[in-house]
Structure 1
Amino acid sequence: MTPLAEIIAQRIRATGPITLADYMELCLLHPRYGYYATRDPFGQAGDFTTAPEISQIFGELCGLALAQTWMDQGRPAPFTLAEPGPGRGTLMADMLRAMRAVPGMFKAADVTLIEASPHLRGVQSENLGDVRHLDGIEELPDKPLFMMANEFFDALPVRQFQRVEEGWAERVVGLDKDGLRMGLAPPVDLPRAGRIGDIVEDCSAAVAIIEAIAGRIAARGGAAIIVDYGGWNGYGDTFQALRAHAPEDPLAHPGEADLTAHVDFAPLAAAAIRAGAEVSRPLHQGDWLLSLGAEARARRLADAGDAGAMDALRRLTRPDEMGHLFKAMAIWPKGALPVPGFDALRHHADDA
């Protein structure tokens, strides 16, 4: 057992099986043995590679989309430029470089990173310099908010429920003679249809965060772009672990593997609407990036000597690479122009 596995086992022996959400939170954020507290997980030397680590194209286009939105909303100053779960700070660095070309924007931006890991905070400060760090969304200052969230929501803890004859039974983490194992709690009623064996996932943390973000944008202006892998009103077990760029049993090495679940964009969109903001339907990441000029940017980089630019474009946009697995969704105030590349969800009856 890993040290964290033994801590989890002791807790289960003392108080009984724990929810999948509690297990994820312990594995990712335990102050001593949690995954994000102990390592830099990004890139070839880590466990996974994100879009900003593949190419500057991703961050530059995200930055320019927010910059156009900032101009469309009358260039508010000062404003908060925020990123939750910013990794090494690569995405923010690329966005800021693009924003420097927009008169007045860079000086008006209060760069703010929402990061729980002390280790990653140090890496971000080394790469970005003097930036504000916050523990949570609720600490954001009361001013216009422009936010980019890439692969943030997939790491938030989820609960899982499996349909049985008597209703929906929560999947929990317990113990047997071989160590940690999945089991089922007593059935409960859920307002969700399903067949025997179906699994649904619930991420109440994501819904609460979106309500807070969208409420601030509705009241003070700004926009948020969310990019993550997932779908719309999905069913199935999407809980997964990645270690050294390969999938493994999520219970095998607690604290030593990245744990994620696919994002269900439907409840997030509903939360944004409840908060009084406009929200888009989710788009394929590849389609959104291409609509912003990703191919032209890649060709310019290639002409300037970047030998990997066209391969990076393929990885970011092709349907069989990241292009369709990852989705992009935007939030902006009612009555304002949409974020570039997006249309309002209410304009698409088939998505309602």
Structure 2
Amino acid sequence: MLRTRTWLPLAKNLRFYYTVKTGQTTKDPHQVSKQIYSRIKATGPITVADYMKEVLISPTGGYYMHRDVFGESGDFITSPELNQMFGEMVAIWFLNEWSKVGSPKPLQIVELGPGRGTLSQDLLRIFDHFGALQSASLHLVEVSPVLSDIQAKRLCIQTENIVDPTSVIYRQGISHEGIPVKWYRQFDDVPDMFTLLVAHEFFDALPVHKYQKTDDGYREVLVDVDSNKEHSFRYVVARDETPTSKLFIKPTEKREHLEVSPESLILCKKISEKLEMNGGLALIADYGHSGTGTDTFRAFKKHKLHDPLVEPGTADLTADVDFNELKRCATEAGGVIAFGPITQRDFLLKMGIEHRYKALEANAKPEQLEGLKYGYRMMTDKDQMGERFKFLALVPSVLEKILEKYPVVGFH
């Protein structure tokens, strides 16, 4: 998501949402801050990765756990919410590549971190339009109770919560198109079958470790309490090497600052293994870099930059995705081949978004034109989302011969 951009009222013409009233995000807005403060006082400084986990997904006050964080009243806006063109291009990509391998069934569509369910909604609409939902199901990996409520209202005719503590599924329902929809808290629990997986703005929220180059080599940046102010925090540099700095920093590294997300690498490996064993396709879209990023850890609140260490739990924390590392991790075992990363602008234009835009423009009502143009420009302009966002595709290596003859659309 382009979190540095201000949400404009005109974009309201493009999407209409269910309103979920979450008035009190937590009983005490400083609860997360107090938890982290107490933890550090008891055990010493913590890694930025641990800080991110506590801030974002703490059950008692985590940022994602108790509020609707999207849209005008939230802290950022995502491409699928600007208008339906983004989701349509992603859906067409999946349909095209799926058809190359004979459209195998049963089929599961998987989305990691579905937000308000907008992208999944567009995927199901396009798949249904082309009669491609027979023997299909939708599987959503979501940790937030509030967001899963919003997703359920958007996507399903009816849903039910599953209270069985032994079940890996915590909610299930039937979509408006008539297919099963299931919710999981972790990717490991998603069934093994042919999978079309999309992760849009998911990896950027996974925890990162931060490192700084010193005269003694790379040292990890930690979060400590600020003794000058109650329940406030500051960065400190570890005196000695930490286990992760020994594991993840390469001897050839030259950057003054860098960030590593072990959780991202582990997850990317698991996705690759699922594709290799069961067949499927994956599309990862996020803002990031190709191994050149340095100090990108930041926070956003009400669409503006915010100090990550101030009022934790009230702002989104994020770091740019290292697509080079994702690609390396995905392909190192040899079972999967990767395409990209390419810019969002290149992907969308190659998928034909310009033609779709012109078709929508020709049929739009006068009051919709400004919003339509705004959304198109936000997604494709080089100084907006067009260059900052990258796309990476993963496919099983057994398809290599087919793809040599019929290259992966959007990436050539």
Whole-angstrom CA distance in 2 between matches of 1:202 and 1:155: 12
1:285 counterpart = 2:344: yes
Match of 1:269 among 304, 316, 327: 327
Structure 2 CA distance, aligned partners of 1:99 and 1:111? 12
| Contact map agreement 2:293 2:322 (CA 8 A) in 1 | no
> Residue 69 of structure 1: CA displacement?
1.4
- Per the TM alignment, residue 25 of structure 1 is displaced from its structure 2 partner at its CA by 0.4
Output the CA distance in 2 between the equivalents of 1:78 and 1:342. Answer: 27
| 1:250 and 2:308 correspond | yes
Which residue is equivalent to 1:139?
189
The match for 1:119 is 146
Establish whether residue 157 from structure 1 lines up as the match of residue 207 from structure 2: yes
C-alpha distance in 2 between matches for 1:280 and 1:268: 11
From 328, 337, 341, the counterpart of 2:410: 341
Match of 1:33 in 2: 61
Q: Which residue of 2 aligns with 1:55?
A: 83
| Deviations 1:54-75 (CA, angstroms, capped at 9, x unpaired) | 1100001101111111111111
2:124 to 96, 117, 132: 96
Contact 1:163 1:194 in 2 (8 A): no
Q: Which amino acid aligns with 2:196?
A: F
CA contact (8 A) 1:198 1:235 kept: no
- Distance in 1 between residues matched to 2:256 and 2:64, nearest whole Å: 31
Q: Indicate the percent of aligned positions where both proteins have the same amino acid.
A: 38
How big is the alpha-carbon RMSD for the aligned residues of Structure 1 and Structure 2?
Answer: 1.4
TM-score (norm 1): 0.94
Please tell me the residue identity of whatever aligns with 2:114. Answer: P
1:38 is paired with a residue whose SS is coil
The ranges of structure 1 where at least 4 consecutive aligned residues each deviate by more than 3 angstroms after the TM superposition are 192-195
What secondary structure does 1:237 align onto? coil
- SS state at 2:140 partner: strand
Give deviations 1:146-194, integer Å, cap 9, x for gaps.
Answer: 0111100000000011111111110000012222111011232542445
Counterpart of 1:75 (choices 74, 98, 103) is 103
Distance in 2 (alpha carbons) for counterparts of 1:272 and 1:339: 17
Superimposed CA distance per residue, residues 88-114 of structure 1 (whole angstroms, 9 cap, x where no aligned partner): 0000001111111223x2122210000
The DSSP-based 3-state class of the residue aligned with 1:234 is coil
In the alignment, which residue of structure 2 is the partner of 1:128?
Answer: 155
Q: Is the 8 A contact 1:299 1:309 kept in 2?
A: no
Instruction: Number of aligned residue pairs: give it.
Output: 341
Superposed CA deviations along residues 299-328 of structure 1, whole A, max 9, x for unmatched, are: 111111141222211110010110000001
Which residue is equivalent to 2:383? Answer: 320
Structure 1: which 5+ runs fail to align?
344-352
- Asked whether the 8 Å contact 1:167–1:187 carries over to 2, the reply is no
Indicate conservation of the 8 Å contact 1:69/1:222, yes or no: no
Partner residue in 2 for 1:297:
356
Aligned match of 1:311 in 352, 368, 374?
A: 374
Task: Give deviations 1:250-276, integer Å, cap 9, x for gaps.
Answer: 001100000000000011101111241
- TM-score, normalised by the number of residues in structure 2: 0.80
Secondary structure in 2 matching 1:28: helix
- Deviating more after overlay: 183-192 vs 283-292: 183-192
- Note the C-alpha offset of 1:117: 0.8
CA distance in 1 between counterparts of 2:136 and 2:344 reads 26
